[in-house]
Amino acid sequence: MLDILGIGFGPSNLALAICIREFNESQERAGNHGALQSMFFEQRVGFQWHKDMLIDGATMQISFLKDLVTLRNPTSSFSFLNYLKRCGRLEDFINLKTFYPTRVEYANYLEWAASQLTNCARYDCQVEEVRLRVNRDRRQCMEVVVRHRDTQDVGVYSTQNLVLGTGLRPKLPKGIAESGNVVHSSSFLSLIKRIDPQRARRFLVVGGGQSAAEIVNHLYDRYQSAEIVAVFPNFGYKPADDSHFVNQIFDSRSVDLFYAAADNVKSFLLERHADTNYGVVDSDLIAQLYRKAYGDKVRGRERLRMRRLSRLEALSSQADLVTAGIRDLHGGGVTEERFDAVVMATGYHPPSLTEIVPAVTPYMSGDFPDQVTLDRSYAVKTNAPIGGRIYLQGASESQHGFTVTLLSALPTRSQEILQDIVARRENQDVSQLEEVRHAV
């Protein structure tokens, strides 16, 4: 019987695993026998973070101080600064004079942290089913069925608490599917490995957000004889609002404010400040792209073409070419154009909980038609006991706010989840349990 079983081992559950490790160490130091048994199952063969978007030069959208631990425990050995020190790059990094490491370096930091948690992480293991059971001691619990993808061996684990950190799924517009040289941005680097820089003539990039702009920029540099066409409904790339006061929306205390807000206030905030995260691009990158487009004009050969006020309507593939039907939202007509490859930088959506944990569906209660209702500690609200608690990391933006799908609140969210688990194990009210607050 595990105390905590995690599905998925991306940054969210990695932050939680570190939090559990540090809690267990504090219990040991205090001479308590309160260590928690935990296990995390990840379907990939090793730790990976958006590996097909580790584009050269792309930087993080958050400060390195918002790493896996610092906001919760600035003295943790799992900090980005300790990672730099261990790699012998601390002073070199300081001389970069930036808060924003490259994504390649940050992915390496995450892998470094994950490599220290091999005792509680199992890779190449896909969670296939969660069942509700009564065990031999007549206690209700959750049973999790895990398949090892290589050996096909199946293991069944019982747990008191389940934490879903399964991430988001690639989103494609209706009627568009991936095939051959049509990929979602989450497979971008794998696509271009297959495309010869000498032969490619035209690329289409669909979307007006950060990933789309990074991909356009990279294709422009890598395929020097190719034309890059960017299609989006806006007039131009819109800058991300990362101004000082607005950025406080990602602070951990903003989660309290958001969670407690009335539904209309929640909707207002999500709509009004969507430009902190969705369909927007870092201003420096916009300037880089503009300089490229202008340079093309000076040279008399436009390789970067913006199909503004436009929308992709259809795609069809013949041999090595893809034909795209692009609607001009201004004139109304549809033109057909041919490309060597198409990248759909069209975002992500959360998986439905009922898909992952169908056994719990009849017990779910709540006010969110498209999502389950969570309490402040990210646990699913049920209308009857299910023998444990299910916590959801990364899929409750409409209830907890913008931080949910991002990295900014990982340390504090794992702390809140763990505090809730520990307090319930002690059968006490978390708000009254100062000891738990200090220990976690």
Binding mask 69-108 for ligand FAD (x = CB under 6 A): ----------------------------------------
d(CA 7, CA 164): 5
Binding mask 282-321 for ligand FAD (x = CB under 6 A): ----------------------------------------
User: What is the nearest approach in angstroms of ligand FAD to the Cβ of residue 71?
Assistant: 12
Site for ligand FAD in 125-144 (CB under 6 A): 126-127
| 3-state SS assignment for residue 7 | strand
Residue 69 Cα to chain centre, angstroms = 17
Residue 296: is it exposed, middle or buried by C-beta count within 10 angstroms (0-12/13-18/19+)? middle
DSSP bridge pairs for 7: 41, 164
Closest C-alpha among 259, 18, 40 to residue 166: 40
Binder among 79, 405, 414, 419 for ligand FAD (CB under 6 A): 405
Site for ligand FAD in 166-205 (CB under 6 A): 166-168
Angle at 12 between CA 160 and CA 397, to 5 degrees: 95
Sequence-ordered list of residues with C-beta below 8 angstroms from that of 86, at least 6 positions apart, any chain:
112
Nearer to ligand FAD, 160 or 166 (CB): 166
2-10, 87-95, 291-299, 359-367 -> range binding ligand FAD (CB under 6 A):
2-10
Binder among 38, 276, 408, 419 for ligand FAD (CB under 6 A): 408
Closest C-alpha among 64, 16, 113 to residue 413: 16
> CA distances (Å), 152 to each of 109, 124, 310, 396, 399, in order?
31, 10, 46, 33, 38
45-53, 227-235, 324-332, 416-424 -> range binding ligand FAD (CB under 6 A):
45-53
Nearer to ligand FAD, 324 or 410 (CB): 410
User: What is the nearest approach in angstroms of ligand FAD to the Cβ of residue 50?
Assistant: 4
Put residue 309 in one of left, alpha, beta given phi > 0 → left and psi -120 to 50 → alpha: left
Site for ligand FAD in 375-394 (CB under 6 A): 393-394
Round the CA-based radius of gyration of the chain to a whole number and report it: 23
11-19, 69-77, 89-97, 263-271 -> range binding ligand FAD (CB under 6 A):
11-19
Angle at 192 between CA 188 and CA 194, to 5 degrees: 125
Residue 352: is it exposed, middle or buried by C-beta count within 10 angstroms (0-12/13-18/19+)? middle
Number of residues that bind ligand FAD (CB under 6 A): 29
User: What is the nearest approach in angstroms of ligand FAD to the Cβ of residue 119?
Assistant: 18
Binder among 42, 105, 227, 340 for ligand FAD (CB under 6 A): 42
The answer to whether residue 404 forms part of the interface with ligand FAD (CB under 6 A) is: no
User: What is the nearest approach in angstroms of ligand FAD to the Cβ of residue 298?
Assistant: 32
- Is residue 185 a contact partner of residue 344, using CB atoms and an 8 Å limit? yes
The answer to whether residue 43 forms part of the interface with ligand FAD (CB under 6 A) is: yes
The answer to whether residue 61 forms part of the interface with ligand FAD (CB under 6 A) is: yes
Nearer to ligand FAD, 37 or 43 (CB): 43
Binding-site ranges for ligand FAD (CB under 6 A): 7-8, 10-13, 41-44, 49-50, 53, 60-62, 126-127, 165-168, 211, 393-394, 405-408
